[in-house]
C-alpha cells in the first residue's frame, strides 16, 4: 500500500474501461485522482464509489480533451482542488473501422484530434504544473497498432504512432530542461474493454480469436498495474520508453 501516496494524478477517459481501472489502482495506492471524461454519469458514479472508501480522494470533471481551453481550465481546477499535479495518464480514446481506402478524411481527423492532438495539448499544458509540483510521470496510452499493420484501423494506428513519437520528444525535452518529469508510452494489445468488444463485433468477428493463450484476453487491471508502476518511484529510471503489454502478439 502507499506506492503513490502524496501524489496527484489526472486520468483522461477515466470513467470506464482502462481509465477506470487506472483510477482504482492509483487511489488504492494512496494517490489523489482527478478523473475526466465526457461520460458524466459514469464519471460521477466512479468518483462517488471511490470517495465512499477513500474520502476526498477523487474529483470528477467533464472534459473534452480536444479543446485546448478545456485543458487549461481542467489543470487549473486540479491545482486548486488538490494543490498540484504529479501523474498524467493520457488515456482518452476512440476507434472507428476504416481501411486506407474506406476511411474518410473526417474520420481520420477525428482520430487525430481525440488520440493525438489531445496528448499534444495535455503535455504542452501539464508540463508547467508538474514541474511546479516537483516533477512526476506522464503515461501515454498508445497501442500495438503503432507497431503492426492493421489496415482496418488505419486512422487509429496513425494517431497512435504519433503518440509513440511525441512521448519520446517530451521525455528528451524534459530531461534537457531538468524538469524531473518522465514520459513513457504503453502499447496494449487487445484488452477486455467495451471499445475492443464493439470493434470486434463491427468487423463480424468473435472474441474467441483473442483466446489463443492460457491467459486469454488482457484485463484492464493488467494495464492498471503497469500504469501504477510507471506512476511510482519504482520506475524512476524508465524514461522515453515504449512498453508493450500484448502477451507476445507483436513478435509472432
- State which H helix or E strand residue 12 sits in: strand 8-12
Q: Using alpha carbons, list the distances in angstroms from residue 208 to 71, 184, 187, 191, 240.
A: 39, 31, 22, 13, 34
In angstroms, the CA 139 to CA 228 distance is 10
179 classed as catalytic: no
In angstroms, the CA 132 to CA 37 distance is 25
H-only helix segments in the chain: 17-28, 40-53, 68-82, 105-111, 118-132, 154-176, 194-202, 220-231
- In a 13 Å sphere around the CA of 4, the CA atoms on its Cβ side amount to 30
In angstroms, the CA 143 to CA 57 distance is 29
Q: How far apart are the first and last CA of the chain?
A: 37
- The length of the chain in residues reads 252
Cβ neighbours of 50 (radius 10 Å): 21
**Of residues 150, 156, 179, 210, which has the active-site annotation?**
156
Q: Which residues are catalytic?
A: 156
Amino acid at each position: 500500500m502507499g506506492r503513490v501516496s502524496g501524489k496527484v494524478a489526472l486520468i483522461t477517459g477515466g470513467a470506464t474501461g482502462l481509465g477506470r481501472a487506472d483510477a482504482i489502482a492509483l487511489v488504492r495506492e494512496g494517490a489523489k485522482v482527478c478523473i475526466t471524461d465526457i461520460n458524466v454519469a459514469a464519471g460521477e458514479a466512479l468518483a462517488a464509489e471511490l470517495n465512499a472508501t477513500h474520502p476526498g480522494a477523487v474529483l470528477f470533471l467533464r472534459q473534452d480533451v480536444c479543446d485546448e481551453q478545456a485543458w487549461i481550465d481542467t489543470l487549473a481546477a486540479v491545482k486548486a482542488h488538490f494543490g498540484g499535479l504529479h501523474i498524467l495518464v493520457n488515456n482518452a480514446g476512440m476507434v472507428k473501422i476504416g481501411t486506407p481506402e474506406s476511411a474518410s478524411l473526417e474520420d481520420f481527423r477525428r482520430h487525430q484530434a481525440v488520440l493525438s492532438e489531445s496528448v499534444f495539448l495535455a503535455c504542452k499544458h501539464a508540463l508547467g504544473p508538474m514541474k511546479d509540483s516537483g516533477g512526476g510521470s506522464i503515461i501515454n496510452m498508445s497501442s500495438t497498432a503503432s507497431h503492426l499493420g492493421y489496415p482496418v484501423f488505419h486512422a487509429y494506428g496513425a494517431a497512435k504512432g504519433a503518440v509513440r513519437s511525441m512521448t519520446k520528444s517530451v521525455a528528451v525535452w524534459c530531461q534537457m530542461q531538468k524538469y524531473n518529469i518522465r514520459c513513457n508510452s504503453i502499447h496494449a494489445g487487445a484488452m477486455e474493454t467495451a471499445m475492443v468488444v464493439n470493434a470486434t463485433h463491427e468487423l463480424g468477428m468473435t472474441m474467441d480469436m483473442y483466446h489463443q493463450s492460457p491467459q486469454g484476453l488482457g484485463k484492464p487491471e493488467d494495464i492498471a498495474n503497469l500504469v501504477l508502476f510507471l506512476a511510482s518511484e519504482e520506475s524512476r529510471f524508465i524514461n522515453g520508453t515504449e512498453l508493450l503489454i500484448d502477451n507476445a502478439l507483436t513478435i509472432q
